[in-house]
Amino acid sequence: RPWGPALASAPFIVPAREAMSPQEAAAAHDAAAPRVAVQAVQGGRSTAEVMDELLDRIETVLLGTARHGVQLSMVKYRALLMDVVPLFGVARDTMMSALSDLDDVDRTKLLAAFGGDCVRISRVRACLEAAESILRSDPMTASDSRLSQCLDACRAVETVLLDLGLGWQLTHSLAERGAKLSTDSRAPRLPPPAPPAPATEEEEEEDEKPKLRGFFHALMLRCLSARTHVALFRGMQYRGNRMMVFSLEPDCYDSFIDHNVQASLVALFSEEEEEDEGDDEDICQSYRDFIKKAGDLVPPNSLLRSFVAMRFAKGTLARCQGQNPQTIALMHVVVKTLLVQEMLLRQIPLDKRAYSTCPASDWDLFGENIVGALERYFETCSKDLAKLLNADSSEGLQFDSCDLFDGRMFRHVFHFVIDRGLAKKGKVAADLCKFSDFVLTELNFLWKEAGSKEEFFPILVDQLKDLPGIKPPGLPAKSAPRPTPELTDIKSDFLAELEKAREIKHITVFDGTDEERDECLWQNYNWSPPAHLDMVKEEETMEKNEAERKMEEKMKLKGKVSARDLEFQKKFQMKRRQMALRSLHAYAKSLTGSDKLHPPIIMKEDPKEEKGKDKKDDKKDAKGSKADDKKDDKEKLSKKHLELLEKRKLEEEEKIKEHDRNQMKQWDPNLDALAEITDLDKLEKEMLDLLLGFHRITDSFVGFPAVSSAFKTSEMQCKVVLKALKSIRASFKKMLLDRQPADKQVQARRLVRYFLCIVQEAMNSFGKADIDGKGIKALQESLVSVGFPKSAEKIFAIWKDNQQKLAQAAAEASAAADKDKGGKDDKKKGKDDKKGKDDKKGKDDKDKKDKKDKKDKKGDKDDKDEDGEKDLDSYKVKKEKVETCWSGVGEDEYAFQLQYMGQYMTRTVGNAKDPLGRVNFKPDRWQRDLLDIVDAEKSALIVAPTASGKTFIGYYVMDKVLRTDNDGVAVYVAPSKALVNQVSAEIYARFSSKTYPMHSKNELLGVFLKEYNSAGGVMEAGKWKNCQVLVTIPHILEMLLISPSMQDWVKRLRWVVFDEVHCIGGEDGLQWEHTMQLIPCPFIALSATVAEPQHFHSWLGRINEKKEQSKVEIVVHTERWNDLYKYIYTGGALRPLHPFCCLMEQSVRLQGLSSDLTLTPQEMVQLFTEVSKIIGSNPLWDPLSPMKYFSNRVGFMTKLDAREYERDLKKTFLELVKADALDSAGFSKLKIALQYPAEQQAGSASAFKPPGRAIADEEGDGETPSGLADFQKMGKGSGYMQPATLYKLFKDLDNMAALPAIVFNFSRKEIDRMLTKLIQELKDRQTDKYYGTEEAAFRSKKIMERRNAEYQAKKTAYEQALKMKESKNQEAKASRKNAEEGDRGAVKNEAVDVSEDIGEEPQPPLDLADEIDMEFSFHSPKALGQWQEEINEMLKEMKFRGVSQHLIDGLRRGVGMHHEGCKTNYKQAVEILFRRGYLKVVFAGSTLALGINMPCRSTIFCGDSLELNGLMFRQMAGRAGRRGFDLLGQVVFLDMAFLKIRSLIASDLSTLTGEFMLSPTMLLRALHEWELICLEEESERPIFRTKEEIARCISPMFSAPFFRSKTADLETQVAYHTRFSVDLLYREGLLSNNGYTRGLANLVTHLFETEPANIVLARLLSKGLLHEYLKREAKNERKGDRKSHLTVKLVSILSWLLYRRRLPSILPKERATRKKHLPSAGSPELPQLPEKILLEVQAYNESVFEHVQQLAWTVASTRKIGEVDMALPMSQKAFRSGWDPRGEPFTDPKGSDLAARIIKQMTRYRARSPFSAISGEGDEFSCTADLVNSARNVLHLDMNSFPTIAQPMLIQEGLEPTNSWMLDFMIHGKIKYLWEDNGIGPTKAWKLISDFREAVKKATVAIKSFAPEGDIVLKTFDALGAEIEKYLKGEGGR
Q: Side chain identity at 1631, as an amino acid letter? A: L
What's the CA angle centered on 611, arms 609 and 614, to 5 degrees?
Answer: 125
Q: Give the Cα separation of 959 and 128 in Å (integer).
A: 87
- CA within 13 Å, CB half, 1275: 7
pLDDT of residue 1895: 92
pLDDT of residue 849: 47
pLDDT digits (tens, 9 = 90+) for 41-52: 444 555 556 556
pLDDT of residue 1767: 87
Do 1759 and 1613 touch, CB atoms closer than 8 A?
no
pLDDT of residue 58: 58
Angle in degrees, 0-180, between the axes of helices 1912-1928 and 1861-1868, rounded to the nearest 10: 80
Q: Both ends of the chain: CA-CA distance in Å? A: 47
Q: Give the Cα separation of 664 and 544 in Å (integer).
A: 66
Of 1868, 1914, 1860, give the one whose Cα is nearest residue 1892: 1860
Q: Give the Cα separation of 682 and 701 in Å (integer).
A: 18
Instruction: For residue 1907, give every residue at least 6 positions away whose Cβ sits within 8 Å of its Cβ, in sequence order, or none.
Output: 525, 527, 1913, 1914
Helix (H, G, I), strand (E, B) or coil at 584: helix
Q: Side chain identity at 677, as an amino acid letter? A: I
What's the CA angle centered on 1315, arms 1312 and 1319, to 5 degrees?
Answer: 140
Cis peptide before 5 (omega within 30 of 0): no
Helix (H, G, I), strand (E, B) or coil at 43: coil
pLDDT of residue 116: 43
As averages over each run of 10 residues, the pLDDT of the chain (1934 residues) reads 31 30 37 38 51 58 42 46 53 55 47 49 60 54 56 59 45 41 32 41 51 70 71 74 74 55 59 49 86 87 90 89 86 92 90 89 85 89 86 74 88 92 88 90 91 89 86 87 89 84 84 69 83 80 73 75 79 80 77 65 54 44 45 58 82 86 88 87 88 82 86 88 89 85 85 89 84 87 87 86 83 74 53 48 49 46 49 81 83 87 78 77 84 92 84 89 90 87 85 81 87 79 87 91 89 92 83 91 89 88 89 87 88 88 87 86 91 90 90 82 90 90 89 74 36 37 54 80 90 88 88 91 88 86 88 86 80 70 47 54 80 86 84 86 87 90 86 88 87 84 83 85 80 88 83 79 90 84 84 88 84 89 90 88 90 92 92 89 91 93 74 80 89 92 92 92 85 82 86 89 91 89 88 85 84 83 91 85 86 92 90 93 86 40
Total residue length of the chain: 1934
Q: Give the Cα separation of 351 and 1776 in Å (integer).
A: 9
Q: Give the Cα separation of 86 and 32 in Å (integer).
A: 11
Residue 1357 sits at φ, ψ, to 5 deg, of -65, -40
Residue 969 sits at φ, ψ, to 5 deg, of -130, 135
Encode 1460-1524 in three state secondary structure.
CCCCHHHHHHHHHHHHHCCCCEEEECHHHCCCCCCCECEEEEECCCCCCCHHHHHHHHCCECCCC
* pTM score, whole prediction: 0.78
Q: Report the Cα 201 to chain-centroid distance in Å.
A: 42
What's the CA angle centered on 734, arms 732 and 739, to 5 degrees?
Answer: 80
Instruction: For residue 1444, give every residue at least 6 positions away whose Cβ sits within 8 Å of its Cβ, in sequence order, or none.
Output: none
Of 1469, 1522, 1141, give the one whose Cα is nearest residue 1300: 1522
Residue 1135 sits at φ, ψ, to 5 deg, of -120, 135
Q: Encode burial over 1470-1488: b for 16+ CB neighbours within 10 A, e otherwise.
A: bbbbbbbbbbbbbbbbbbb
CA distances from 552 to 572, 721, 851, 1835, 1918 (A): 12, 70, 94, 58, 21
Of 490, 466, 202, 232, give the one whose Cα is nearest residue 329: 466
**DSSP annotation of 901:** -
Strands 1083-1087 and 508-510: unpaired
CA distances from 1621 to 487, 494, 1144, 1557, 1824 (A): 10, 14, 48, 12, 18
Q: Give the Cα separation of 35 and 1707 in Å (integer).
A: 44
Do 671 and 690 touch, CB atoms closer than 8 A?
yes
Q: Side chain identity at 1694, as an amino acid letter? A: L
CA distances from 1357 to 1348, 1360, 1369, 1503 (A): 14, 5, 18, 56
Encode 1264-1300 in three state secondary structure.
CHHHCCCHHHCCCCCHHHCHHHHHHHHHHHHHCCCCC
pLDDT digits (tens, 9 = 90+) for 51-109: 566 556 555 555 444 333 334 444 444 454 455 555 555 555 555 555 554 444 444 55
Q: Give the Cα separation of 41 and 37 in Å (integer).
A: 6
Q: Report the Cα 864 to chain-centroid distance in Å.
A: 66
CA distances from 582 to 720, 823, 1029, 1441, 1544 (A): 47, 67, 20, 16, 42
**DSSP annotation of 103:** S
Of 1671, 1674, 1672, 1642, give the one whose Cα is nearest residue 1658: 1642
Q: What is the largest CA-CA distance in the chain?
A: 163
CA distances from 1678 to 1685, 1686, 1721 (A): 7, 10, 18
Q: Give the Cα separation of 253 and 1277 in Å (integer).
A: 9
